[in-house]
Chain A
Amino acid sequence: MLISLFGAVESGAIYAIMALGVYLSFRVLNFPDLTVDGSFVTGAGITGMLIVNGMSPITATLVGAFAGFIAGCITGILHTKGKINALLAGILMMIALYSINLRFMGQPTVSMLNETTIVNQIQSFWSPAIDSALNSIFIGADRVPTTWAILIIMTIVTLAIKFMLDFFLKTEVGLAIRATGDNQKMIRSLSANTNFLIIIGIGLSNGLVALSGALVAQHGGFANLNMGIGMIVIGLASVIIGEALFGKKTIARVTLAVIGGAIIYRVVITLALRVDFLESSDLKLITAVLVIAALVTPKILQSRREKKRRLAKRAALMERKGREASA
């Protein structure tokens, strides 16, 4: 139990980078971008291939992320220059990437089990003393996590990306990107090239997604052609759960919420799969129910609060009228 929860938080921290990418396209640019299912694999597959062919893991990861950036830019170009509907542009790019990814990978699965990856590089310089120190908090547990290295380093990487994203969205360019998602007509009348901003924004979004894919592949030890299926829904689930639980008042708050949402999503899935009557094939159903719950619950809560408030006002009115009548 403890081990599987620990694993859930660990992979949640890696998937959070993907969720930040989805936040950028879906929320900031208001662009429902389905490229994600393909670009996640692009990052994983290209990085995997390069590592197998002897490239240093960090360079390979960056190349993988850049490939995702290019894929996203092409989706952006299809939408802005080709005037293709956003959803359709993403879907077209997604299926195109399926074939492209297979070309790059050469085979449906690329194994990195015997290669040097970022993950085992992190573990190799990590001091076991930190692990034993941290594991001492789980006094009485019969099994403790083998290493804290991945969790801590990945959390730092994810937070670093979050802070960079926060900063970027407050720069002059970042403001214009946000306005493009909010009111395109207005920002165009303020001399911003919205086409360019959409292309760059969707590119960055998919760059983050591909980076996450590259890290997930190295964490799991393999890249698979189908590992991206449903990724957009997981990203959306993270964004929506995060916003529902942690709020969305400021940019910094939302990006933190998205990371939290990604981790909570993993934890909930892990817990759900431990329930006896649920099978691992029910995963997609659980995801769908989770997203629906995260979308509907805040609305229900709010209308309840409103109703309560109105009832209280009515009661106060009645009381006042009663007092006036008796006076």
Chain B
Amino acid sequence: MLNIHDVSLTFNEGTPDEKIALDDINLELQKGEFVTVIGSNGAGKSTLMNVISGSLIPDVGDVLIDDQNVVHLPEYKRSKMVGRVFQDPMAGTAPSMTIEENLAMAYSRDKKRRLVPGVSKKRKDHFRDYLDTLNLGLEDRLNAKVGLLSGGERQALSLLMATFTEPKILLLDEHTAALDPSRAELITKITGDVVSKFGLTTMMVTHNMQQALDLGDRLFMMDKGQIIFDVKGEEKQNLIIKDLLDEFQRIRGEQIASDKAILG
């Protein structure tokens, strides 16, 4: 479903601020696969997301969605296929518009926008059913401005908006990081539910190792623009946090050692 070939991206190349954000990334996700991505700040996780969504164009390499090379498609065209939830709960919704209007905009994602009313009676019922699955009572507040919702409610709404048109790829960029622990847990649960309900091919970035272990059937660990660790299946199910830390230590330790060797 998603193939990334030889993708590299360097920021501020040739200046003292040069930063290799992605270093020859290759990966393949099968349809319906749910991968969680962990790694320290600056490891390239968000850059990888942005390259997939099209808000960044890599220096070299190809991004294929469903065997179609999309690397030169602008973000707005690619987002027909790619659903996205951001870390900032404010980022995924339009605050001065109502819940139903926000849902209507998301509903138009994979269709051509026309000059017909965005919120019809039929769609309203549809939206109400979807909102009902969140169990947040939002189905009774279709006409409320989204700016009045709490961060958790907004993030749940963003998640719904990103998923209910069943995009080919779903990108979740630390989407629970700005929430309190109980809300984060709720959103994590909803995430698991919708992804399995629609069978979405999903990539989720998180700093929460437990979440990375609980959700998904595959796990990437990234460091310095590379995927340094990739587990899936049973091996992933049996991982615990300590294994991840050890693995991280082992790979990092090796790298430090090799740096030392270079520096002599």
Do A175 and B101 have beta carbons less than 8 Å apart?
yes
**Which residues of chain B come closer than 8 Å to A167, judged between CB atoms?**
117
Q: Are B79 and A178 in contact (CB under 8 A)?
A: no
Most buried by A among B104, B105, B161: B105
Asked if A188 meets B116 with Cβ closer than 8 Å, knowing A175-B104, A179-B94, the reply is no
Report whether A172 and B108 are in contact in the complex, using a CB–CB cutoff of 8 Å.
yes
B77 on interface, CB distance cutoff 8 Å: yes
* Contact assessment for B76 and A192 in the assembled complex, using a CB-CB cutoff below 8 Å: yes
Given known A-B contacts A182-B95, A183-B91, A186-B91, A191 and B115 have beta carbons under 8 A apart:
no
Contact between B96 and A182, CB atoms less than 8 A apart = yes
Q: How many A-B residue contacts, CB cutoff 8 Å?
A: 90
- Which B residues are CB-close (under 8 A) to A191? 76-77, 79-80, 108-110
* Residue-wise interface mask of B (77-107) relative to A, using a CB-CB cutoff of 8 A (1 in contact, 0 not): 1011011101000111111110001001110
Which A-chain residue is minimally distant from B115 (CB atoms)? A171
Among residues of B, the one whose C-beta sits closest to the C-beta of A174 is B118
Q: A-facing mask of B140-183, CB < 8 A → 1, else 0?
A: 00000000000000000000011000000000000000000000
Does A193 touch B at the CB level, under 8 Å? yes
Q: How far is B198's CA from A285's CA once the two chains are assembled, in angstroms? A: 61
The reply on B119 being an interface residue by CB < 8 A is yes
The verdict on B121 contacting chain A, using a C-beta distance below 8 Å, is no
**Beta-carbon contact of A170 and B119 below 8 Å:** yes
For the complex, give the distance between the alpha carbons of A175 and B113 in Å. 10
Q: With a CB–CB cut-off of 8 A, which chain A residues contact B161?
A: 190
Chain A residues near B93 (CB-CB < 8 A) = 183, 186
Q: Taking the complex as formed, is B75 at the interface, i.e. its CB lies under 8 A from any CB of chain A?
A: yes
User: How many chain-A residues does the 8 Å CB contact rule pick out?
Assistant: 23
Expressed in whole angstroms, the Cα–Cα distance for A253 and B119 within the complex equals 18
The verdict on A170 contacting B117 (CB below 8 Å), with A186-B92, A191-B76, A191-B77 known, is yes
From A168, A173, A175, A189, contact of B75 by CB (8 A):
A189
* Residue B53 lies at the interface, judged by CB distance under 8 Å to chain A: yes
Is residue B114 within 8 Å, beta carbon to beta carbon, of the partner chain? yes
Q: Which residues of A contact B80 (CB under 8 A)?
A: 191
Closest to A197 in B: B113
Is A80 interfacial (CB 8 A cutoff)? no
In the complex, which residues of chain B have a beta carbon less than 8 angstroms from the beta carbon of A183?
90-91, 93-95
Contact residues, A167-218 vs B (CB, 8 A): 167-168, 170-176, 178-179, 182-183, 185-194
Given known A-B contacts A182-B97, A183-B93, A190-B108, A172 and B114 have beta carbons under 8 A apart: yes
Listed in ascending order, the chain B residues whose CB lies under 8 Å from chain A are 53, 55, 74-77, 79-80, 82-84, 86, 90-97, 101, 104-106, 108-110, 113-119, 161-162
Closest 7 CB pairs of A and B: A182-B94, A172-B113, A191-B79, A179-B94, A175-B118, A191-B80, A183-B94
A-B contact pairs, 29 of them (CB 8 A): A167-B117, A170-B117, A172-B104, A172-B113, A172-B115, A172-B117, A173-B115, A175-B104, A175-B118, A176-B113, A178-B94, A178-B96, A178-B101, A183-B91, A183-B93, A189-B75, A189-B79, A189-B83, A190-B79, A190-B106, A190-B108, A190-B161, A191-B80, A191-B108, A191-B109, A192-B105, A193-B74, A193-B76, A193-B77
